[in-house]
Structure 1
Amino acid sequence: MNLKTLSIFILAVLFFGLHISFAQIDSIPKKEGISMKIEQTGVEKERDFGLDLYDPLGPSKAAFFSAVIPGLGQAYNRKYWKIPLVYAALGTTLYFYIDNNNQYQAYRDAFKQRLTGQEDEFFGILTDQNLIDAQKLFRKNRDLSLLFVIGAYILNIVDANVDAHLQQFNVSENLSLKPQAEQDFLTGNLSYGLSVNFKFN
């Protein structure tokens, strides 16, 4: 598996993880709820609408924690399963950056030795043009790997921030949002709509 294929795979995994964080909204322990008393057949029943207090600093804290220590924002959001993904992405991209940089330096040093008339480790194996081409290739791969390292780091921060935002939405099971489609029998056209339902148990 070459560098480009592996880099594309890593980005796909990161975007998939980010997509899951958008799709999955986990409930968090409630700080305070808004309750309402409903009179039903002479008996007062208290309903908890599951509305949590909004913490405006929550997303900022999660993003800051992930910026300081990658994965800490995910721990703050209680998404512990994402921490290995963060470090796998950062570790893999860092490994390829270091490896490509070492290869670049090795061919560069060999080329410098050859210019001074000394024998290098590739003497008799690679020509001068081969050394130049190898330097260009590994320098390009090194720079590309650095971009992926930065991208993985930024995605780690964005994921923590977005996750913290999503956790503050109302996730009460009594609320539902349902799409509707009805056909007009006179014209044969479909009418689309959206309904918000609140269920009283």
Structure 2
Amino acid sequence: MNTFFYRNSLGVVVIGCILMAATLNCRAQGHNDTVTPVFLTSTDSIGKAVGKADSIEVVSTVGKEALSTAYADSVRLVDNIHRNMAAWHPDPQRALWMALVLPGAGQIYNRKYWKLPIIYGGFMGCLYAMNWNNMMYKDYSQAYLDIMDDDPNTASYNKFLHLGKKIDSSNEERYKRIFKSRKDRYRRWRDMSFFCMLGVYALSVIDAYVDAELSEFDISKDLSLRVEPAVMTVDGRKSVTNIGAASFGLNCSLRF
């Protein structure tokens, strides 16, 4: 029991000494006008913080100036490109020769790229039609030759007959006329496809030349028709005097 009381008393005394020392320390510091926390009174840390803020502001300012300069340079470059493209005009003779050598080259030279699918689509369509009609022409020509001869082993015309149909003496003449007409028809369509392809080629050449020739043609929106009253004299000149010898009318002027 005494040991327990002694230990507790000793602890109370130690705690009391610590509290007294802290009180004296606070009174000693109380004579100062202001009490500033230790982490705010360090001049070195304040200086470092201010220097860091200044450096961040300088870097931010330099970055903004560099971005603005780069943006201005890019805008100036784009404007120069647009100005050069607007001032460029194709040479009609060069466009003509390029279109003659290679279909579509004149349109590429004139920078009308959207016309290329039309031109090459026309060529591909004409080539396909010419190949198909030529194949059908050969098949019907062979069938016509086989039906005209007397050899029973040559009967390629059977592939054109419907199921269950046969050629005999009763309908042989009719099938001869059918095969002949279809042979002539596909031959005519084959030749027409070839001439259509030549027409597409000629149109591509003409388009390239005319487009280059009209590249400097004024197509501004200043198209106006002006109608105003006019007083004309006997000799045809406008006049506001001598009204008695003048005639009245309308003066039309077209600007294009």
**TM-score (normalised: structure 1):** 0.61
Corresponding position of 1:111: 144
Distance 1:139 1:182, change over 3 A: farther
Q: CA-to-partner distance for each residue in 1:134-174, whole Å, 9 max, x for gaps?
A: 01211221222222111111000000001111113356x6x
Q: What is the match of residue 160 of structure 2? A: 122
**Structure number with higher relative contact order (C-alpha < 8 Å, ≥ 6 residues apart):** 1
Structure 2 runs not aligned, ≥5 long: 1-83, 168-173, 232-245
Query: Could you tell me which residue of structure 1 aligns to residue 228 of structure 2?
Result: 182
Which of the residues 125, 132, 145 maps onto 2:193? Answer: 145
**1:167 partnered with 2:215:** yes
The number of equivalent residue pairs is 144
Hey, which of these two has a bigger chunk of strand by percent?
Answer: 1
Which of the pair has more CA radius of gyration? 2
Deviations 1:18-56 (A, max 9, x none): xxxxxxxxx94426xxxxxxxxxxxxxxxxxxxx7xx7x
Percent of pairs identical after alignment?
30
- Please, what is the CA RMSD of the aligned residues? 3.0
Distance 1:187-1:100 versus aligned 2 partners, 3 A rule: farther
The residue that corresponds to 2:118 in the other structure is 85
When structure 1 is superposed on structure 2, of 76-85 and 187-196 the one drifting more is 187-196
Q: In structure 1, what is the equivalent of residue 101 of structure 2? A: 68
Deviations 1:36-92 (A, max 9, x none): xxxxxxxxxxxxxxxx7xx7xx11111211121111110000001111111011111
1:3 alignment counterpart: none
Distance 1:79 1:165 in 2: 14
Q: Offset of 1:184 from its aligned partner?
A: 6.0
Change (3 A) 1:102 1:193: same
Measure, in 2, the Cα distance between the counterparts of 1:129 and 1:183.
75
- List runs of 5+ in structure 1 lacking aligned partners: 1-26, 32-51, 197-201
Task: Pick closer, same or farther for the CA change 1:108–1:169 going to 2, 3 Å.
Answer: same
Asked if the contact 1:28–1:167 (Cα under 8 Å) also holds between the matched residues in 2, the reply is no
Higher helix share: 2
Report deviation, 1:115: 2.5
- 1:195 is matched with which residue? 255
Return closer, same or farther for 1:195/1:106 CA change in 2, 3 Å cut-off: same
In 2, the alpha carbon distance for the partners of 1:142 and 1:72 equals 27
